[in-house]
Chain A
């Protein structure tokens, strides 16, 4: 869901329709993905152009694969499909288990901050914007 630029109705309709009940149906009641952790900024790319013929996938799985023909983060997938992040994680787990998407986890920074080359690249990139 976008935040700015949409009319007030568009912005709030989905909130009232409730992101609470629908996600359980989408994941068939599962709270956790079968595989993977999926950080908000893990990057996802489909490995196939079309999965409509795969059996056992729901429309949301197909929608994720469609969206991820171009690389998207987990957060972007959730925003574009208007699903809670937890639901998207479960669906992504299904897709990873079938090798239908590849996922790049973010740079592990628990051991500290990234090295200077990353900082410099971001600073230069921002200056060039």
Chain B
């Protein structure tokens, strides 16, 4: 796969397409852990510098330190094929930084909302956000202490989810388990797309 400069035809774009999935949920629920579990490398971190008003940096006239906030996003990469690369992004804190969420959610094929049954309400903002945007999502109940005592249909009811939204148990530390969550999301997103297409016809 190493191209010398002479072998690479000028103007032709042999680059693959990238797609992304978001991992959202409350503070400390295991977002970074899941990104790391599925990623082919250690999770990376990237930063956006925002003004306090949250609309990006428009005015750089000398006031470099004032009124800026740094928002960190964790992400990982999964190379699917020569044509397709999947990026998985952990979302930054749920109650601020909607500007960054909007940027992340734009073009995302779906989202995983991680939930901890000891503090289910923590994932409400994420669910509201994806419902509002029409981004397909699944809820993955992370296997912290006590998670297995809850029935998934109870979680579904407690979260007031649309009955079509999958709710699954997972252990974000386990690669296999996290992979299954992503596969469930992709299957759900496919169905969502199909249903939307039928609604249009």
- Tell me the bound Cα distance from A58 to B190 in angstroms: 45
Q: CB distance B45 to A20 under 8 Å?
A: no
Q: Are A43 and B192 in contact (CB under 8 A)?
A: no
Known: A84-B48, A104-B13. A21 touches B19 (CB 8 A): no
Selected contact of B87 from candidates A41, A78, A85, A119, CB within 8 Å: A41
B4, B38, B104, B187: the one contacting A40 at CB < 8 Å is B104
Does B125 sit at the interface, judged by CB under 8 A? no
A104 to B: closest C-beta gap in Å: 4
Residues in B with CB closer than 8 Å to A29 are: 60
Chain A: CB-nearest residue to B44: A79
Is the beta-carbon distance between B43 and A4 smaller than 8 angstroms? Answer: yes
- A80 and B65 contact, Cβ closer than 8 Å, known pairs A119-B189, A122-B19: no
Q: Is the interface of B mostly helix, strand, loop or mixed?
A: mixed
Chain B interface extent, by class: 35 or more
| A2 near B20: Cβ-Cβ < 8 Å | no
What are 8 A-B residue pairs whose CB atoms fall within 8 Å in the complex? Answer: A29-B60, A47-B10, A75-B87, A84-B46, A123-B186, A125-B78, A129-B78, A129-B175
State the A residues within 8 Å of B (CB).
1-5, 15, 19-21, 23-24, 29-31, 39-43, 45, 47-49, 69-71, 73, 75-76, 78-80, 84-86, 102, 104, 106-110, 112-114, 116, 118-119, 121-123, 125-127, 129
Which B residues have a C-beta under 8 Å from some C-beta of A?
A: 1-2, 4-5, 8, 10, 13, 15-20, 32, 36, 38, 42-49, 56-58, 60, 64-65, 68, 70, 73-75, 77-78, 80-81, 83-87, 89, 103-104, 106-109, 136, 175, 179, 182-183, 186-187, 189-190, 192-193, 196-197
